[in-house]
Amino acid sequence: MKVKILTLYPEMFPGFLGFSLTGKALGQGKWSLETVNIRDYATDKYGSVDDTPCGGGAGMVMRADILGAAIDANFNSGKLIYMTPKGKPLTQSKLHELSKEKELTIICNRFEGIDERIIEAYEPDEISIGDYVLTGGEQAAMIMLDGVIRLLDGVLGNEESAAEESFENGLLEYPQYTRPIEWKGLKVPDILLSGHHENVAKWREDQSLKITEKKRPDLFKKYLDLKKV
């Protein structure tokens, strides 16, 4: 997978994507990273990329002509993504969808956002990582990419591990334990030590249902509704 980042702060990348599984995958060539400094497409000697919002208001807005020039010069194929709090919430199913793409070009905004005409002209896939606001899209892009890259073939190394994680089947993951068997008076559930794989699988399924119902009743309701279909 080829990843291209349009940003005012290319030095922020790869950030934490350069470590652990994603960093190893980068070194192995399972994905590649290219950063593009939007400021390189500024038209004045000051490298200006933003201006005051039309109609008044606080902050600054990234100019359509500058960002548009950066997009035109760097987006050729694949999917164009804009990280924004106004986008559709990022989900595990969306990560799977994006992991099938050969190339991702990601717009990272700053200031109060970008000129709306960029949205109208290029129709990027607008994605949000949550109902909150960050100082820029770079952090959001890295979080999204972390979720995408780990789904690429050969990155995790254990496909079964990915299949059993939270959200893969619509439920939160069951509790995990390891040695020591007893710690601070708390013991690993006996069933996990029984060696009876069928009973273990049933226990894990029951635990996933209970945890999801308690912690995420919205997901639990959605799961039940889908089961009725």
Contacts 24+ apart (CB under 8 A), 147-150: 147/90, 147/92, 147/95, 148/1, 148/95, 148/98, 148/99, 148/104, 149/1, 149/17, 149/21, 149/22, 149/25, 149/30, 149/31, 149/99, 150/21, 150/22
The pTM assigned to this predicted structure is: 0.91
pLDDT of 3 higher than 80: yes
Give the pLDDT score at 45: 95
CATH topology of domain 164-228: Trp Operon Repressor; Chain A (1.10.1270)
- 3 state DSSP class of 190: helix
| Over residues 141-158, mean pLDDT | 94
**33 strand-pairing partners:** 3
Instruction: Quick: pLDDT tens for 19-76.
Output: 999 999 999 999 999 999 999 999 999 999 999 999 999 999 999 999 999 999 999 9
Q: What are phi and psi of 52, to 5 degrees?
A: -70, 150
| Over residues 151-180, mean pLDDT | 85
Helix (H) and strand (E) counts in the chain: 8, 9
Mean pLDDT of all residues in the chain?
95
Q: Domain limits of the chain? A: 2-149, 164-228
Assign domain 2-149 one CATH number from 3.40.1280.10, 3.40.50.300, 3.30.1360.120, 3.30.830.10: 3.40.1280.10
- CB contact set of 98 (below 8 Å; sequence gap of 6+): 79, 81, 104, 144, 148
Classify residue 55 as left (phi > 0), alpha (psi -120 to 50) or beta.
left
| Over residues 10-18, mean pLDDT | 98
- CB contact set of 73 (below 8 Å; sequence gap of 6+): 36, 41
